Chains A and B, each alone.
Chain A
Amino acid sequence: MSEALQFAQTTLQEVALVFMAVVYMLRLRWIFKRFPAAKERQGSTGNPDTNPRKGFLYSWAIIGMPWVMESSRTKPIMYGMFVIFHIGVVVAIAESFIIPYAPGFLAANPWLGTFIQVSCTAACLVGVLRFIRRVSDKGMRAISSPDDYFSLLLLTVWFAFAALAGTNDASGGEGFLLTYFWMTAFFLVYVPFSKISHYLYYPITRYYFGKSMGNRGTYPIVKSVPGYVKTAGE
């Protein structure tokens, strides 16, 4: 392994990780100190079987329940793409730890390399589809910022290199590995300032929204039951 790759895999990643952690700490401090939470005094309403605690737990879990929200229930392909994309994120992040810190494990389990390659390739393809949707759909274009395009593009390319580097095989050259780790480092530095850090906010928004909706008996979501359909004779 070259010194450059050694540096990219370890020191560079560690510095980038520390940077990200520091920025996130400051970010969380900003959110919790700068913005006090509004106190809710109202008594509970609605279904007595639910409460604020159930509400926020349900709210946190809602992303894993595609049958709950109409927006995911009626768009199974979009939801499937979301799942593939985010599995790709988890796998690509895990890869950045496995390769430098547990290369033996990867070598001893060739299926793992294949799994990394398959999931990151699938995520990359979803990234391409998402990018096409964002560029071609008028409504999506209207709500997109340069950060939205760049973040999606960054992740999609990163998935590609994560797939190529997935087996940690430098026999054909270190190019893929080097690119993957430099991109990972850039990703870590850029993320706290971009929309990609939405995972930091997800627990916060979902906690408060779920707590309130739980208190008011709206969470768990009370879905539609089938409606009456009038017959031809009516």
Chain B
Amino acid sequence: MSTQTRSHKATKVLERLTKKVNRQIAGTMLACVHCGQCTDSCHYVQTNPGDETFIPAWKADRVRKLFKRHMDWTGRVIPWWVKASSVYTDEELEELRDIVFGKCTNCRRCSINCPMGVDFASMNRMARGLLVSVGIMPEGVSVVSKDQWEIGNQMGVLKEDYLDTLEWMEEELQEELEDPTLKIPVDKEDCEIVYTINPREAKYDPRSISDAAKIFHVAGESWTMPSEGWDMTNFGLFSGDDDLGGAVAKRVYEAVERLNGKTLVMSECGHGYRSTRCEGPNWSQTDLSFKAESSVDTMLRYIKERRIKVDKSKNDFSVTFHDSCNNARSCGLFEEPRELLRLVVADFREMYPNRAENYCCTGGGGAMSMSEYTPQRLKSAKVKADQLIATGADKVVTSCHNCVDGLNDCIKHYKVGMEVTQLVNLVADALIIEPAKTTVVVEEVPAAASAPVVEEKAAAAARPLTGRKILVIDDEPDVCTFLSTVLEDNGAQVLTAADGDTGLALARSEKPDLVTLDLNMPGKDGGQVYEAMRADDELKELNVVIVSGKPELRGLIYDKDVRKPEGYLDKPVSEETLLTSVRKILEVGEDNVN
């Protein structure tokens, strides 16, 4: 053994390695014959021909060499013979970090294509955990893990914001279905279903919550959402941190037990489903005392049991389906989403390959939070873009929030011209709502007084942002005009700034209610403007919505240890998305205007 000095972190990694390797991982360490059969299965390899550092076996050997050097016979005696070697410095650990986090999404496509049964993805996850245990990880992983440990969910959504969002969605739904008795129940005990979600839904996609609520309501379900333990996602799966994985999973399980729920239903999130349904019991050493299922199963069951009726002609566009790696390859959810899709859309088209052989959305394994690797992630997304383009579909459906973001980035980067949606949205849109399912309350208003009131309400509803001041900071004139027009049409007073410095000055002088902020601007970029706002006592409480067309710049915001923005919108942003987001943040309902 070499007498070279070893850093403290390297020593700790090696100590942990000897404790973490179980029989499954040991098999994976020992069994590889370097046959190269896994090579073509990886989307990184396909988009980086000639770069051997993306080959799964090569990447695996960066971890395997440590096992061989420190635990295996031949590697300990004649290390060079089997390419065994150790780590000594923090720089070497950082190189390993860039491989296990930056060059693999743990999609398991190579694992199912290995003739020897080598599960590289599981080994890679273990290696991530070793590095995380000594604090070596991408900044985004650190920030997200911290939020999940400390705040209880991976997007740092505060409890009051989460509850506000549920209340907001409840009001929207009451209005939409004209049923003031409709509820999104929170912490109701003894329900059939305890519904848990991805915090992305509370933060950026509340429509998926109201869609789910609509489906539960129409199905006449006894259901609730917990006020604690509502985040079924689990960054422990991505970071390889079993302790975090166990703690997060346990929070969800305890919520179900506390509420005495019969079934835990997880919204459409691949890694959340895998973590909570499959891996969580192992990490937390818990045997579940209740049933757990994906909302895809729940919705399908409702249709089969005729608890809800759907009309597929309401979704009269063509769709294709993307199998999330975690849902499909790792949890066997292949046919259920397809069966459901065929019931709610008129034109379903398979993309190829599909099911267990589908390619990763390229945003898996936590890649969306690792902005330093975004360029190579987007490069690898070419494989997915080609798959999507071949179908010619109008929309791609996926049962995973992470895939929604990954696919959106891919579509934008390769200009695929396709929308991404989820099954819950399609089912909600296809619902046939019978009058009996809703209670319509008709207020009797004296005829003379009713006309002005109705007119006033109608006008308020038409201009819901009246009295609100919004600052748009964007260097693209077209975008500025679009955002200003939409916001002004809805009653807001809009100020615009074409660069960061002007924007900051206007924010200080005008004290807007909300700022939309572009990231890619000449001079001070959006990240610097954002950081300056959060560091400024006068501006730190400002509501900020990032509006950006460059996903690779997300790190400018999300890798910083500052409060996260209130919203994030991808360019091009639609009028509906912009208004929904702004109204949610400003807590402005259809008839809730100043």
Contact = CB atoms under 8 A, between A and B. Distances in A.
B50 interface: yes
Interface stretch (B73-81, B94-102, B422-430, B485-493): B73-81
B83 A145 contact: yes
Interface in B436-484: none
Contacts of B328: 218, 222
B357 A70 contact: yes
A62 B80 CA distance: 33
Contact of A138 (B50, B114, B115): B50
Contacts of B278: 42, 45, 216
A201 B27 contact: yes
A201 B334 CA distance: 30
B287 A41 contact: yes
A156 B185 CA distance: 70
Contacts of B320: 228
Contacts of B30: 31, 198, 201, 205
A69 B36 contact: no
Contacts of A227: 349-354, 387, 390-391
A69 B332 CA distance: 16
B357 A42 contact: no
Contact of A40 (B282, B286, B390): B282
Looking at chain B, what size class is its interface with the partner chain? 35 or more
Contacts of A223: 355-357
Interface string B25-47: 11110111110111111000000
A59 B350 contact: no
Contacts of A141: 52
A103 interface: no
Contacts of A42: 277-282
B57 interface: yes
Chain B CB within 10 Å, residue with most, of A34, A40, A45, A140: A45
A31 B23 contact: yes
Looking at chain A, what size class is its interface with the partner chain? 35 or more
A222 B356 contact: yes
Given A41-B286, A222-B355, A230 B390 contact: yes
B332 A224 contact: no
A193 B82 CA distance: 10
B74 A198 contact: no
Chain A CB within 10 Å, residue with most, of B38, B111, B287, B353: B353
Nearest to B280: A42
Contacts of A234: 392
Interface stretch (B116-124, B411-419, B584-592): B116-124
B24 A38 contact: yes
A154 to B, nearest CB: 13
B401 interface: no
A27 B329 CA distance: 32
A139 B55 CA distance: 7
A205 B116 contact: yes
Contacts of B55: 139, 142-143
Contact of A63 (B34, B39, B115): B115
Contacts of B38: 71
B117 A142 contact: no
A139 to B, nearest CB: 5
B23 A208 contact: yes
B354 A225 contact: yes
A37 interface: yes
Nearest to A233: B392
A70 B74 CA distance: 33
A226 interface: yes
A221 B112 contact: yes
Interface string A66-77: 000111101100
B350 A195 contact: no
A37 B81 CA distance: 29
A212 B119 CA distance: 11
A204 interface: yes
Given A69-B112, A143-B55, A218 B22 contact: no
A138 B351 CA distance: 32
Nearest to A148: B34
A47 B332 contact: yes
B116 A224 contact: no
B282 A143 contact: no
Chain B CB within 10 Å, residue with most, of A38, A193, A201, A225: A201
Contact of B331 (A46, A202, A204): A46
B61 interface: yes
Chain A CB within 10 Å, residue with most, of B21, B25, B357: B357
Contact of B31 (A146, A198, A230): A198
B24 A194 contact: no
B260 interface: no
Contacts of B332: 45-47, 216-218, 222
Contact of A206 (B112, B116, B288): B116
Contacts of B39: 139
Given A35-B22, A234-B392, A143 B41 contact: no
A147 interface: yes
A205 B392 contact: no
Contact of B52 (A38, A142, A198): A142
A225 B104 CA distance: 26
Contacts of B52: 138-139, 141-143
B355 A225 contact: yes
Interface in A21-38: 31-32, 34-38
B22 A37 contact: yes
A209 interface: yes
B89 interface: no
Contact of B288 (A43, A143, A144): A43
Contact of B36 (A45, A59, A139, A229): A139
Contact of A41 (B83, B113, B285): B285
Contacts of B391: 227-228, 230
A38 B242 CA distance: 13
Given A36-B23, A45-B333, A228 B350 contact: yes
Contacts of A31: 23, 26-27, 30
B58 interface: yes
A171 to B, nearest CB: 39
A228 B349 contact: yes
Given A216-B331, A228-B350, A202 B117 contact: yes
Instruction: Please list the 5 inter-chain residue pairs (A to B) with the smallest Cβ-Cβ separation, ordered nearest first.
Output: A46-B332, A227-B352, A217-B332, A230-B392, A228-B349
Given A69-B113, A228-B349, 19 more contacts: A35-B22, A35-B26, A43-B277, A43-B288, A46-B334, A71-B115, A82-B115, A142-B58, A143-B34, A147-B74, A148-B34, A201-B27, A217-B333, A218-B329, A222-B332, A226-B350, A228-B391, A228-B393, A230-B391
8 contacts: A38-B24, A41-B281, A42-B278, A46-B331, A138-B52, A146-B81, A205-B116, A225-B354
Interface of A: 31-32, 34-43, 45-47, 59, 62-63, 69-72, 74-75, 78, 82, 137-148, 193-195, 198, 201-202, 204-206, 208-210, 212-213, 216-218, 221-230, 234
